[in-house]
Structure formats: C-alpha cells, structure tokens
Structure 1
Amino acid sequence: MLILRGIEQKGFVRFNETKRVLSASGRILQTHLRELEGDGLIQRIDYPGYPRRTDYVFTEVGKTLIPIINSIYKWNIKRMKEQQIPITTETSIYHQDID
C-alpha cells in the first residue's frame, strides 16, 4: 500500500529510495514490486546510463486505485491524529493530509 501511495504522491517511485524510506529489504521490496507489476497495477521503467535508474509508475488500471488509496489514507490520517501518532519526516510523503 505504501508503494502505491508513493506513486500517487510523486508520480513514480524509485527502488533505492523506497527501500530506504520503508526500511525494507531489497528482496522483499522487489517481490512486492513484481507482484504489483504482475497484477498490472504498476509498470517498471528502466533508464540507460550510470548510475542505473529504475522508476515504477501506475498503469492505466493502477490509476483507477487512486480514489480508493486516498480514502484509506484519509481514514489513516484521522486515526493517527486521534491516537496522537507522530508523522516523521521520512514517512511524511506517505502520510500527508489529503484535501
């Protein structure tokens, strides 16, 4: 879900940045990305050159999830505020208020 939220917020996610922000192992993150790609929700874009860069973006089908993702995150923000759970700088992209 956080991967999809990152794509919704930025338009794309990058492997290493997502790995760092989520504190996920590369193997687990790669598994999740492949599953989302296999489900037709995201597309992998490889760029030539050094350093190697790979972006993940929504497919047209994946874009249909945006209203659902936003509804879940509105609920999540409300719950975090009610429970006084702080939003950290590193995870703020995933937990911004949605208007």
Structure 2
Amino acid sequence: MYTVWLVARDSRTPLHTKILAFVVGAYAFSPIDLIPDFIPVIGYLDDLLIVPAGIWLVIKMTPKIVIHENRERARLHHSTPISRVAAGVIIGLWLYAIAVSIYLWGY
C-alpha cells in the first residue's frame, strides 16, 4: 500500500492513475465502507475484493519504471506515511455522519 501512496505522489504517474491511487488509498484507510463490516461475511468482502483489485489496477496502469523505483523507495523507507489532509477528510466525514444522525434522531 505504501508503494501505491508513493506512486500517487510521483510526477511521472499519469493523472488518471494518480486519482485512482488516491481513491484506493482513501478507501483502504477509511472507516466507512460500501458494505458495513458488522454484516457477517459480506461486510468484509468489499475489503477483500475492492482494495486488492484497486491496488492491482493502479500497478497495471503505472509505468513499470515508476513502480520499480517506488517499490525500492518503499522498501528502504520503513516509516508509515502520514496524511493530515486524509485524516481531516475522514474526521470531517465522521463528524458529518454524527451530526446528520443527531439531526435525524431529533425528528
């Protein structure tokens, strides 16, 4: 996943691939799923299918040299990437969901 994050930030990556990489990364780290995880078996299916398929697609759409260089960078760099923007978006979505829930509960 770190390689996909690096590919998304690489200037040689095509724009449509960057967008897909950001969407896959955001979905992978987002607590909000298409199918809620509390639904037995089916809840985890989206995580087991969508994220790997997205990563595979990003790798297939990215030039081989970009993948190779970013895999090497990921291997040498052992820290976890931190995206304050992504964290802010996820926190904002949760706050919005809570506010809507409180509003709807009140009526």
TM-score range, shorter chain: 0.3 to 0.5
- Taking structure 1 as the reference length, the TM-score comes to 0.32
Larger relative helix fraction: 2
- Taking structure 2 as the reference length, the TM-score comes to 0.31
Larger relative strand fraction: 1
The structure whose Rg is larger is 2
